[in-house]
Structure 1
Amino acid sequence: MSNLSKLEFVALDISKKNYQLWFLDAEIHLAAKGLGNTITQGNEASSQDKAKAMIFLRHHLDEGLKVEYLAVKVPLDLWTGLKERYDHLKATVLPRARYEWMHLRLQDFKTQQYHERGFKKYPELISCLLVAEQHNTLLLKNHEARSTGSAPLPEANMAARRSSNKNDDNAEANLALNDDDFQGLDDLTHLEVEDFSGDQN
């Protein structure tokens, strides 16, 4: 059954993508609810406050994490368990993010194009760059599927037409029945195959 009550912030994803944001949001919300001391060492929180904090934390976890930490009953234990599991991301993700930020440049977007477009807001520039990147990805996929210089695909209709012309050299088509009365126009209804597919010279 899905959670019917609204989340105050995004639940912690099991794929580790949003741990830093979740950690900060959870800490702030617990402090705002007066439950911030339940996740600190040597706390003197009441069992009722611990239960409220546990409900709050579990409510903002991914279903897989809820199952994994099913036996944990104390909010401090859950908090430290999640911290041990995800805190190493600071050592792995943060240096890479700092490096990318320090070496940020607009590689594929010329300054003249930037000034011509007259971007007033950063999100407009980003959306334009994302569209350009998607187009580039699509072009690369198409190039990998049918690279330049490869033989063209055979025309399907052309092959079928050639094979039918070989067998039907003497074929005739007469769409009028003998007893139909077309007021003397019987000769006009007699059609040859060449009338449809051959050159009309």
Structure 2
Amino acid sequence: MAHMTKRDFDILDNNGTKYLQWRVDARANLKAKGLEHTILVDGNSTSQEQAKAIVFLRHHLHENLKIEYLFVEDPKELWDNLCQRFESLERIIGPKAQYDWMNIRFQDFTSVSDYDSAMLRITSQLRLCGQATTDAAMIEKTLSTMHADNAVLQELYRERHYNRYCDLIAILRMAEANMKVMFHNHNKRPAGTVAPPETYVVKSGQPWRNFKKGNTTFHKGKGKWRPNFKPLNPIFKGKKKFTPNKGKPNQTTKCFKCGITGHWAKECRTAKHLVDLYTASQKGKGKEVETNFVKETSPVLSLDLSDYLIDDIDNGCGPST
């Protein structure tokens, strides 16, 4: 169950790629626990202290390394075996770190953070190999490898006489942030031009009217103070409902209930029996219907036989004999 216990730092892999970092972390933790003398020559450590130190070191080793040094019970012996096993790493990491130190340039990086990370990685590798670098060397490396366009800034930084590398990096970070803000403001509007006037656009379909009291609260958004108006009627989403025409009907508008012009159907006040007659008359519209037309101009006369006989008196002749 040892692998389930929380570790104080990363374990040492079987290939030993991070042996130098592991050695520094292991020595610091043993010193914090009061067990550093267990890995020193003539440390005069007790058997109980040796047991604690060996358990701690084995807990931060890879499984293959644990098996290889399974029967090693002295922490000093385990420490020396690991040093002999991975001592060749110093001969590999050291020249590579020196090469990186000679070729690192401030102008080759796009940001101060990237340069600082690379510089700290190289200097830490040099320290692990016994080749410590001073703050003065790091400051000189940074200032001497700046771009030629920053010659004036380089001299200004030299005149401040920084003693710590971290102070110089803090100033460079601040200058980089201010430079970004300056370029942003410069590119926002060309030099010599006037800022365009502010305009407010109201899209069609948004009834921005009839505001209630209390809706005129303001909030700051995108650097401008704008009213937080809310319309009384929310915008209808989806299909629009049918709404009748507004206004007064004209004389050509005909009511579809009674057929009379001058009013809408919803305002019709015609009697129901008249509406029914008009509706019935509209149902047969368009069909051929046989009709008889009778027109009364005078009352009908009743004629008899005497009306068709010719009277002699009327013809101007006397009575016959």
Give TM-score, length-normalised by structure 1. 0.53
Residues 103 and 68 of structure 1, relative CA distance in 2, 3 Å threshold = same
Q: What letter is aligned with 2:114?
A: Y
Name the CA distance, whole Å, in 2 between partners of 1:101 and 1:80.
Answer: 30
Structure 2 counterparts to residues 9-28 of structure 1, below 5 A: 9-28=9-28
Higher relative contact order (CA 8 A, sep 6+): 1
Name the CA distance, whole Å, in 2 between partners of 1:14 and 1:82.
Answer: 11
Task: Kindly state the Cα deviation for residue 122 of structure 1 after the two structures are TM-superposed.
Answer: 2.3
Q: Which moved more, 1:96-105 or 1:2-11?
A: 96-105
Name the CA distance, whole Å, in 2 between partners of 1:35 and 1:103.
Answer: 41
Name the CA distance, whole Å, in 1 between partners of 2:31 and 2:100.
Answer: 33
2:57 partner SS:
helix
Task: Kindly state the Cα deviation for residue 98 of structure 1 after the two structures are TM-superposed.
Answer: 1.2
Residues 8 and 103 of structure 1, relative CA distance in 2, 3 Å threshold = same
Structure 2 counterparts to residues 127-142 of structure 1, below 5 A: none
User: Greater helix percent: which structure?
Assistant: 1
Q: What letter is aligned with 2:90?
A: K
2:114 maps to what in 1?
122
Task: Kindly state the Cα deviation for residue 88 of structure 1 after the two structures are TM-superposed.
Answer: 2.2
Query: Gaps spanning 5+ residues in structure 2: where?
Result: 119-321
Task: Kindly state the Cα deviation for residue 92 of structure 1 after the two structures are TM-superposed.
Answer: 2.1
Q: What letter is aligned with 2:21?
A: L
CA contact (8 A) 2:11 2:60 kept: yes
How many residues are treated as equivalent by the alignment? 118
Q: Is 1:39 the counterpart of 2:31 in the alignment? A: no
Name the CA distance, whole Å, in 1 between partners of 2:113 and 2:82.
Answer: 38
Name the CA distance, whole Å, in 1 between partners of 2:33 and 2:43.
Answer: 16
CA contact (8 A) 2:106 2:115 kept: no
Q: Is 1:93 the counterpart of 2:93 in the alignment? A: yes
1:79 partner SS:
helix
2:68 maps to what in 1?
68
Give RMSD over aligned pairs: 2.5
Name the CA distance, whole Å, in 2 between partners of 1:26 and 1:12.
Answer: 10
2:23 partner SS:
helix
Residues 79 and 3 of structure 1, relative CA distance in 2, 3 Å threshold = same
1:83 maps to what in 2?
83
Task: Kindly state the Cα deviation for residue 49 of structure 1 after the two structures are TM-superposed.
Answer: 0.3
Task: Kindly state the Cα deviation for residue 100 of structure 1 after the two structures are TM-superposed.
Answer: 1.9
CA contact (8 A) 2:9 2:25 kept: yes
Residues 14 and 38 of structure 1, relative CA distance in 2, 3 Å threshold = same
Structure 2 counterparts to residues 92-171 of structure 1, below 5 A: 92-105=92-105, 114=110, 119=111, 121-122=113-114
Task: Kindly state the Cα deviation for residue 3 of structure 1 after the two structures are TM-superposed.
Answer: 0.9
Name the CA distance, whole Å, in 2 between partners of 1:97 and 1:68.
Answer: 31
Give TM-score, length-normalised by structure 2. 0.34
Name the CA distance, whole Å, in 2 between partners of 1:19 and 1:30.
Answer: 16
1:51 maps to what in 2?
51
Q: What letter is aligned with 1:121?
A: S
Name the CA distance, whole Å, in 2 between partners of 1:99 and 1:121.
Answer: 21
Q: Which runs of 4+ in 1 moved over 4 A?
A: 123-126
2:20 partner SS:
helix
Task: Kindly state the Cα deviation for residue 104 of structure 1 after the two structures are TM-superposed.
Answer: 2.5
Q: What letter is aligned with 1:122?
A: D
Q: What letter is aligned with 1:101?
A: W
Task: Kindly state the Cα deviation for residue 22 of structure 1 after the two structures are TM-superposed.
Answer: 0.3
Q: What letter is aligned with 1:38?
A: T
Q: What letter is aligned with 1:76?
A: K
Q: What letter is aligned with 2:32?
A: A
Task: Kindly state the Cα deviation for residue 93 of structure 1 after the two structures are TM-superposed.
Answer: 1.5
Structure with greater Cα Rg = 2
Task: Kindly state the Cα deviation for residue 95 of structure 1 after the two structures are TM-superposed.
Answer: 1.3
**Identity fraction in percent:** 40
CA shift digits 1:155-174 (9 cap, x unpaired): xxxxxxxxxxxxxxxxxxxx
